[in-house]
Structure 1
């Protein structure tokens, strides 16, 4: 362990809210960003494995399957699809399902799953998720905000700290079949943190969500590249908002024209599984706004059938991945 330093060794006065040069957070706190002393303080921190990783591994070892929902592009319906995936999995009463909202700056799963305004409880066993059904729990930073309209203005270090707490402190019970992790757009702090912290315990794979038009596919290609560089298996891609089905006449028309072949062509070009297309149905937005299960309210919708087909395909890919892992071992 490196020797501790004193204030006289600092190259500049300590900033306001400085954690202190002898703190375990020295050089890493919000106040450290841009401070002339940052490198000096960081150099004094003990080097070695992160002790929280063992706690994360122990907590997540009780979860059979861990899925990331990614896109790279905002506005493609990723959180909407996460909520519907969670509802669809939880429809099987034999499964225990958890949903984790890692979109820290824009948490929307509590509204979509009908848990807005709820609070989490802390005990000796950790944070208890909010249960929106007997077998569907949810964790989100939204439950910790004093006001639902409060903006989260955090630097990367604070985001990473919360993600680590979510992974090591949330008590999902004795066993969880599926943990579905909703992520924000892009390939930044949240994505790097969750993949790093979950690396040892294993991630089954990622579901990529896109819309048909090329402007969305541009960012989705970057997300696919991120998954390959981070060694995250891509379980498949779903093309969301693929055409519009009129609830009255059942006629379908294209809203977002797939100028380069859409998601299906992208999957062929990059050799990843294509799980299917989900048409636009305005009732999906209505169900999400009211926090209801779309499948319970509109089971006759072509979108409901398409989503359930995607979920079946996703579960098949998870089983294929598991079987391959068992054969390799």
Structure 2
């Protein structure tokens, strides 16, 4: 096949050979023929690049603002500190809102390129990060891209980054079930690797958030992605002065625990809204240096996740 056009919808997708970007492409007839089995050449490149990455974990959320990126930061920091003999990586595929460089304390670092590809930025001895945030001229730059360009960037992150040998790669995704999710699943998930790509879902306890989480759970089931469990974030508010906990998101229908029982997915635990943890993430500080009820709860959740691998 000839090289794909810049805005190619992707071979094997519903719009392959049918979108406006396909007009004039020498592959248009082949891609649009339903009887032609098209194999995306990028998938082979991804498989080769990720051959030493043992496990991949998608961190998902139905809605924005529920603390999904915070959970990625906390989880990666805790795992790296709790299991120093293992190697961990974080891939930030929230293309329009990359927050991991700041939250992991490596904002402003440069990505270097070698013969083996881009080198992810080192956060700790056994923790590295790759994000489009490292490739922007300024933290205020807006990324105004259509789906195909986002998908191309994700493919580059998966196939052109020298991840090396990792025990676990944690992927920070945007909210919902959009192009980014379908793209990363198409490259990392198939019948032969179904046990290496798994997911956890982060939500808050109020009903408006749980409605979207149900969609996220059904998305994973349709895509045959095993769900390790659901984390209830901001279950209560923990006062930074007196330590008193207050409920700010009332769980009128039983909260996350009841929903997990109904949807038949594991309930991993609850994390309070903690000003100390929020401040640490804003400053890029290592939360594992803290010791309070939040980090204790995080430790329990991380151990449950670790035991699933």
TM-score, with structure 1 as normaliser: 0.84
Q: Distance in 2 between matches of 1:34 and 1:43?
A: 10
1:148 is aligned to: 139
2:160 is aligned to: 169
2:211 is aligned to: 218
Give the conservation status (yes or no) of the 8 Å contact 1:245–1:302.
Answer: no
TM-score, with structure 2 as normaliser: 0.89
SS of residue matched to 1:272: coil
2:92 is aligned to: 101
Q: Distance in 1 between matches of 2:168 and 2:51?
A: 12
Q: Map residues 164-203 of structure 1 onto 2, 5 A cutoff.
A: 164-173=155-164, 175-200=165-190, 201-202=193-194, 203=196
Quick check: 1:78 aligned with 2:58? no
Q: Distance in 1 between matches of 2:6 and 2:147?
A: 15
Q: Distance in 2 between matches of 1:137 and 1:36?
A: 36
What whole-Å deviation, never above 9, does each CA across 1:166-223 have from its counterpart, x for those lacking one? 11111122x1011000000010100000001001344431010000100111111110
Aligned residues: 293
1:270 is aligned to: 263
2:13 is aligned to: none
Give the conservation status (yes or no) of the 8 Å contact 1:105–1:151.
Answer: yes
Q: Distance in 2 between matches of 1:284 and 1:228?
A: 32
Which deviates the most, 45-54 or 188-197? 45-54
Cα offset for 1:147? 1.4
Unpaired segments ≥5 residues, structure 1: 2-21, 319-329
2:12 is aligned to: none
Inter-CA distance 26–103: structure 2 relative to 1 (3 Å threshold): closer
Cα offset for 1:250? 2.6
1:129 is aligned to: 120
SS of residue matched to 1:243: strand
Unpaired segments ≥5 residues, structure 2: 10-16
Cα offset for 1:248? 3.2
2:221 is aligned to: 228
Quick check: 1:57 aligned with 2:37? no
Quick check: 1:302 aligned with 2:293? yes
Which deviates the most, 47-56 or 118-127? 47-56
SS of residue matched to 1:83: helix
Which of 229, 238, 242 is the matching residue for 1:245?
238
SS of residue matched to 1:153: coil
1:315 is aligned to: 306
Q: Distance in 2 between matches of 1:176 and 1:195?
A: 19
Inter-CA distance 150–62: structure 2 relative to 1 (3 Å threshold): same
1:24 is aligned to: 4
Inter-CA distance 26–157: structure 2 relative to 1 (3 Å threshold): closer
Cα offset for 1:58? 1.7
1:9 is aligned to: none
Give the conservation status (yes or no) of the 8 Å contact 1:26–1:41.
Answer: no
2:78 is aligned to: 88
Quick check: 1:38 aligned with 2:23? yes
Q: Distance in 2 between matches of 1:233 and 1:23?
A: 34
Inter-CA distance 310–218: structure 2 relative to 1 (3 Å threshold): same
Cα offset for 1:61? 2.0
Q: Distance in 1 between matches of 2:4 and 2:295?
A: 50
What whole-Å deviation, never above 9, does each CA across 1:12-35 have from its counterpart, x for those lacking one? xxxxxxxxxx75317628xx9974
Q: Distance in 2 between matches of 1:58 and 1:42?
A: 25
